[in-house]
């Protein structure tokens, strides 16, 4: 990543964290979750041809921009305590498409756009669902880019184990059960099997990368087995 792109990337991350202050730890953790999932995928035969086409480091870095569209959503709505109205939720949902629009406006030479290209895919696809009931496009199954299917697991898991203005955190074990229950509906069932293999490591990341903006669930010692060296 050259100096110009690195500086741009840093500014965008600061903007996301500033606009939505629950995302400070969220960005770090979701990137680590994605790294775990991809690492485990490399140990299987799943999606091997797709993975070989990626610059894995750039894919993982680009995941931090998955919520960039939230900079266009009002702070009052992002920080609203309690349940959103249907209309408010529809506004929140626009952040996926807005993220794509924002990233499309970044003017970089063709050869320097790989980070933005991955970020664009993840921003636009991380709320799609395997059964087609997600947004913004209602894509389904393998029509959802692999980056988006992976990020869906990382994003939902972290939302569950984190305190948010509208809800309390749940335990890593409960979050893992939600992911597994969503196999074949919300999530790619093959990726849920991969997640199951690394779920204890997700819990360790949740503890180690709590972050200054988000109070993640306090992980018990039993979840720390097999923690990644950071």
Locate the domains of the chain by residue range: 3-129+140-224
Residues 171, 34: Cα–Cα separation, whole Å: 19
Pick from 124, 128, 176: nearest CA to 149: 128
Whole-number percent of the chain with pLDDT over 70: 80
Contact 228, 36 (CB under 8 A): yes
Domain 3-129+140-224 of CATH type 1.10.3210.10? yes
pLDDT band at 5 (very low <50, low <70, confident <90, very high): low
Confidence (pLDDT) at 4? 64
pLDDT, average across residues 207-216? 55
Quote the mean pLDDT of the chain: 84
Strand partners, 183: 187
pTM (two decimals):
0.85
The pLDDT value given to residue 217: 40
Q: What pLDDT, in 10s, does the model give residues 152-178?
A: 999 999 999 988 777 788 999 999 999
Mean pLDDT of 18-33: 74
Give the other-Cβ count within 10 Å of 30's Cβ. 28
Euclidean distance between the first and final Cα of the chain, in Å?
Answer: 21
Residue with tokens 């790294």: 35
Give the model confidence (pLDDT) of 44-103 as tens digits.
Answer: 989 999 999 999 998 998 899 999 999 899 888 888 888 889 999 999 999 999 999 999
The CA distance from 148 to 137, in Å, is: 12
User: CA 177, CA 43: separation in Å to the nearest integer?
Assistant: 23
């Amino acid at each position: 990543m050259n100096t110009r792109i690195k500086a741009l990337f840093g500014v965008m991350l600061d903007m996301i964290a500033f606009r939505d202050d629950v995302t400070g730890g969220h960005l770090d953790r979701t990137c680590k979750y994605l790294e775990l999932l991809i690492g485990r995928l490399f140990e299987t035969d799943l999606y091997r041809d797709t993975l070989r086409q990626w610059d894995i480091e750039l894919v993982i870095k680009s995941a931090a921009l998955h919520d960039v569209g939230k900079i266009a959503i009002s702070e009052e709505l992002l920080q609203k305590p309690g349940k959103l109205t249907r209309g408010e939720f529809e506004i929140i949902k626009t952040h996926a498409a807005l993220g794509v629009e924002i990233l499309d406006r970044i003017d970089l030479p063709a050869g320097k756009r790989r980070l933005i290209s991955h970020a664009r895919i993840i921003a636009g696809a991380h709320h799609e669902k395997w059964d087609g009931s997600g947004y913004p496009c209602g894509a389904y199954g393998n029509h959802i880019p692999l980056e988006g299917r992976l990020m869906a697991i990382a994003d939902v898991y972290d939302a569950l184990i984190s305190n948010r203005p509208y809800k309390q955190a749940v335990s890593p074990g409960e979050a893992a059960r939600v992911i597994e229950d969503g196999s074949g509906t919300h999530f790619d069932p093959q990726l849920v099997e991969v997640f199951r293999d690394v779920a204890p490591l997700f819990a360790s990341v949740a503890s180690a990368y709590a972050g200054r903006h988000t109070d993640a669930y306090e992980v018990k010692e039993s979840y720390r087995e097999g923690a990644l060296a950071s």
